[in-house]
Amino acid sequence: MEMTPARKTLWKTFRRLGLGFLVVVVCVTGRAATGPSGKVFTVKPATSPIRVDGILDEPAWKDATQIPLPYELDPGDNTPAPVRTTCLITYDQHHLYVAFVAYDPDVQKIRAHLTDRDTAFDDDFVGIVLDTFHDGRRGFEFFVNPLGVQMDLINNDVGGGEDASWDAIWDSKGRITPSGYVVEMAIPFSSLRFPKTKAVQVWGFSALRVYPRDRRYLLASEPRDRNRSCDLCQISELTGLEGIKPGHDVEIDPTFTATGLENRDAFPGGTLNDPSVQGDAGWTGHWGITPNLVLTGAVNPDFSQVEADAAQLSINRTFALYYPEKRPFFLEGSDYFQTPINVVHTRMVADPSWGAKLTGKTGPNALGLFVAQDDLTNIIFPGNQGSSSGSFHFGNTSAVARFRRDIGKSSVLGGIVTSREGGGYSNQVYGVDGLLRVTAADSVKFQLLGSETTYPHAIASDYGEPDRGFNGSATFLRYSHDTKYWEWSLQYTDYGRGFRADLGFVPRVDTRFVKALAGHTWWGKPGAFFSRFQLGVNWDETRDHSGLALDRRSEIWALASGPWQSQGMINIGTAKTFFNGVVFDQDYAQIFVNARPSGSVSVGAFVQLGDDIDYENTRSADGLTIRPHMTFKLGRHLQARLVHTYQRLDVAGGRLYRASLTDLRLVYQFNVRTFVRLITQYTDIIRNPALYGFSVEPTSRKLFNQLLFSYKVNPQTMFFLGYSDNSLGEQRVDMTTMNRTIFLKIGYAWLL
């Protein structure tokens, strides 16, 4: 079959990248990063049963392996830890047992609050990192604050960062003592994935303590080299585990959801309809097919979320807003599907009737498969000046296949395929990617993608898309150098005019983006006012595929960390932006500050000011955005967080608009399992109609309220009862309730 021009271009790109890829593989094979530089700890079986109660009075703890935490990793550089901490570790056939004795010279300064799980990172806490495959790519993290609040994460050393959306079922207790605090943990082996072997297990391991006072001190069981760009490759080894099994790992999580809804049939003069009540039952199941491969399935699943999205101002925007995924089924194993270009963003799966997911790792090979039947099709239509979106009432089948293989000591190569099809519509994306660590400080990250898309005639006509199948390609390439004192990077990203990643989040195409960044870090000596100071510059340029310059930006920035756990950033830049046939010159500044003067108060603000663009009327403007935030923790139980955004835009004739958004969240946590939360989000926009070239509403207001009662035994066994409402208002219309909802959700984790 003869290739189309688009396919020929795509094939040429693949060939060019393939040649470069072979060169880099040769380099990385010969110059792979060195292995772990930590210590070796040998764990022994428990000599008695252990009850997790925060009291270390069992004989097993007296005989357990003791691991000190003598190093301060931050702000110090492997300096002696300011406080003493001991980690104790032992195991039996079913659990890994971990305890911490954290000494403190002033117990009154210990920061400890009752919060929901995964939300106590501002407190004192201790925990461990487990790299169960000992490959330096992925680690399980288990942390506990002094009151027993759990925080579990996945450390993704390939994609970068930590993912708190992963939840395991494990047990913990914490207790403040006259000399500090004690934490006790029991982690079932069935909650972990590790190689099945009769030999002694060897895992990557690190014991950590966060000690927040005037500075936020990070303490560890082994040192770290800041001239190495990887983290998990430097932790210690844990050996001695033998005769352990992951277990059957069969879990069934039935759920029942009931919803009562009232909707107003018209605005502003309509009435609220009679309440409609509906109930829905479903289940999600997990099956460990092998110790390393887990199948997750859901039939008539409950994908509802009880965590309200953070509100965002959408005024004067040209591209789609990004909202993170919050639904538990999609969050499970989500790091397996991460790639440099965001081609898998499961919020695009809007209304699924069923779903299935297979994730796991065998030896150097990691695998992720995902499929869902979606009853609603949401599509983002990207361009280089802006994007639009549509929601269509036909179903689609969404699927993803992901494969990744470890190369050398700490590099990876992978491939991904995504597909959405239904109702005469289809979009497929396919490609390769990798992270190649050429030296301890130098790495290359890349991705090459192709796409094939077909829209139904009506959709293509309405949104200005091609009326027949079309192709596109995308390329990502970044070189990074990261050491203790210097960092620099070069990045090139190319999104073809016809590239579409409808199962991901790619709102801008027809662009070629180049960026260069360089920065230097000064580290403060112990007792210095600044713990760290960074100064850097960056330059970037975006052109479309015809060569037209769309954006050009030059910036100088500075970052500093100091007392009161303070952080500050200033970014001063100049830019040229092409929009709708006009080139705009812009000078601007961005400032961010944050401080935590005590364990109960956190304050900060983001400010952006300078030249801006009135996108709706294509003209120069002067803009100001201020976003202060405050968090108050009153006692152990009550927390309040307030974020306010103020935005204004001035044009030649005066003030075009003023917009404000207030997000208030109040939480009362009764204990580690139970809380009541109130969320209020209020948006108020005032426009000057005389300055618009089209008709606009002078005043618009929105109000969202949600009250939630939550009881969680574990992440899957829970009870939620909540109420929410949405209201609208305009210049001549008072705030009017548009809908009201009462919802109930019950879930249970049935372990077999």
Closest alpha carbon to 95 in 208, 155, 183, 171 = 171
The maximal CA–CA distance of the chain, rounded, in angstroms, is 81
Percent of the chain with pLDDT over 90: 73
pLDDT at 500 over 80: yes
Residue 551 corresponds to which tokens in the numbers above? 């954006």
Burial of 384 (0-12, 13-18, 19+ CB in 10 A): buried
Window from 174-183, 289-298, 405-414, 644-653 with minimum mean pLDDT: 289-298
pLDDT at 27: 43
Based on C-alpha coordinates, what's the Rg of the chain? 27
pLDDT at 350: 87
Q: Which of 499, 532, 558 is the last residue of a domain?
A: 499
- According to the 3-state scheme, what is the secondary structure of 168-205? CCCEEEEEEECCEEEEEEEEEHHHCCCCCCCCCEEEEE
Same domain (yes/no): 57, 180: yes
Same domain (yes/no): 585, 719: no
pLDDT at 6 over 50: no
pLDDT at 478: 98
pLDDT tens column, 504-530: 999 999 999 999 999 999 999 888 899
pLDDT at 241: 95
Strands (E), 221-275: 236-241, 250-263
pLDDT at 24 over 60: no
pLDDT tens column, 383-394: 999 999 999 999
Q: Which of 241, 269, 303 is the last residue of a domain?
A: 241
d(CA 224, CA 312): 39
Does residue 224 form part of some domain? yes
Window from 304-308, 477-481, 586-590, 604-608 with minimum mean pLDDT: 304-308
Alpha helices in 533-689 (DSSP H): none
**To the nearest whole number, what is the mean pLDDT of the chain?**
90
pLDDT class for 246, splitting at 50, 70, 90? low
Query: Average pLDDT, stretch 170-184?
Result: 97
d(CA 373, CA 350): 10
pLDDT tens column, 49-105: 999 999 999 999 999 999 999 999 999 999 999 999 999 999 999 999 999 999 999
d(CA 381, CA 93): 53
Burial of 595 (0-12, 13-18, 19+ CB in 10 A): middle
The 10 Å Cβ neighbour count of residue 667 is 21
Same domain (yes/no): 119, 44: yes
Same domain (yes/no): 420, 528: no
pLDDT at 302: 58
Same domain (yes/no): 177, 252: no
- Close Cβ partners of 81 (under 8 Å, ≥ 6 residues apart): 69, 70, 71, 72, 217, 219
Asked whether 379 and 350 are in contact (CB, 8 A), the reply is no
Same domain (yes/no): 213, 285: no
Residue 557 corresponds to which tokens in the numbers above? 């920035």
Name residue, tokens 């392996």: 65
Task: Specify which of 14-18, 255-259, 606-610 reaches the highest per-range mean pLDDT.
Answer: 606-610
Same domain (yes/no): 388, 446: yes
pLDDT at 31: 39
pLDDT at 37: 53
Q: What is the DSSP string of 304-322?
A: ---SPPPP---TT--SPPP
Q: What is the span of the domain harbouring residue 185?
A: 31-241
Q: Is the peptide bond before 364 cis (omega within 30 degrees of 0)?
A: no
pLDDT at 541: 98
pLDDT class for 275, splitting at 50, 70, 90? confident
Query: Average pLDDT, stretch 479-502?
Result: 97
CA distances from 267 to 29, 313, 733 (A): 65, 22, 10
d(CA 77, CA 74): 6
pLDDT at 472: 97
Does residue 11 form part of some domain? no
- Close Cβ partners of 138 (under 8 Å, ≥ 6 residues apart): 131, 154, 155, 156, 157, 158, 232, 335, 361, 366
Does residue 152 form part of some domain? yes
Q: Which of 479, 499, 519 is the last residue of a domain?
A: 499
Query: Average pLDDT, stretch 530-554?
Result: 96
Instruction: State how far Cα 577 lies from the chain centre.
Output: 30
Same domain (yes/no): 271, 302: yes
pLDDT class for 307, splitting at 50, 70, 90? low
pLDDT at 89: 98
- Close Cβ partners of 418 (under 8 Å, ≥ 6 residues apart): 343, 344, 398, 399, 400, 401, 427, 428, 429, 430, 501, 503, 504
pLDDT at 247: 59
- Greater confidence, 561 or 255? 561
pLDDT at 32: 37
pLDDT tens column, 80-89: 999 999 999 9
pLDDT at 172: 97
Residue 438 corresponds to which tokens in the numbers above? 């050429």
The SS3 call for residue 579 is: strand
pLDDT at 638: 97
- Close Cβ partners of 734 (under 8 Å, ≥ 6 residues apart): none
pLDDT at 521: 97
> Which of 551-555's residues contact partners 24+ apart within 8 Å by CB, and which partners?
551/575, 551/576, 551/577, 551/578, 552/576
d(CA 160, CA 81): 26
pLDDT class for 7, splitting at 50, 70, 90? very low
Window from 357-366, 421-430, 616-625 with minimum mean pLDDT: 357-366
pLDDT tens column, 666-720: 999 999 999 999 999 999 999 999 999 999 999 999 999 999 999 999 888 999 9
Q: What is the DSSP string of 129-141?
A: EEETT-SSSEEEE
d(CA 218, CA 343): 34
Query: Average pLDDT, stretch 345-363?
Result: 89
| Cα end-to-end distance, the chain, whole Å | 53
pLDDT class for 9, splitting at 50, 70, 90? very low
Query: Average pLDDT, stretch 188-196?
Result: 86
Same domain (yes/no): 43, 147: yes
- Close Cβ partners of 581 (under 8 Å, ≥ 6 residues apart): 618
Asked whether 479 and 437 are in contact (CB, 8 A), the reply is no
Query: Average pLDDT, stretch 720-742?
Result: 93
Return phi, psi of residue 73, to 5°: -85, -30
Does residue 691 form part of some domain? yes
Asked whether 643 and 663 are in contact (CB, 8 A), the reply is yes
Alpha helices in 242-393 (DSSP H): 328-331
Query: What's 229's domain CATH number?
Result: 2.60.40.1190
Domain count, the chain: 4
pLDDT at 33: 38
pLDDT at 18 over 90: no
Does residue 589 form part of some domain? yes
Asked whether 367 and 358 are in contact (CB, 8 A), the reply is yes
For residue 197, give the H/E element and its range: none
Task: Please state the length of the chain.
Answer: 752
pLDDT at 630: 97
Query: Average pLDDT, stretch 577-600?
Result: 96
pLDDT at 295 over 50: yes
Same domain (yes/no): 215, 294: no
Query: Average pLDDT, stretch 292-321?
Result: 75
pLDDT at 213 over 60: yes
Does residue 23 form part of some domain? no
d(CA 219, CA 80): 9
Does residue 505 form part of some domain? no
Does residue 416 form part of some domain? yes
Window from 12-16, 100-104, 125-129 with minimum mean pLDDT: 12-16
Residue 1 corresponds to which tokens in the numbers above? 């079959």
pLDDT class for 165, splitting at 50, 70, 90? confident
pLDDT at 664: 97
pLDDT at 56: 97
Instruction: Give the single-character DSSP code of 421.
Output: E
Burial 21-37 (b: 16+ CB within 10 A, else e): beebbeebeeebbeebe
pLDDT at 653 over 90: yes
pLDDT class for 339, splitting at 50, 70, 90? very high
pLDDT at 21 over 50: no
Same domain (yes/no): 651, 595: no
Same domain (yes/no): 341, 481: yes
pLDDT at 635: 93
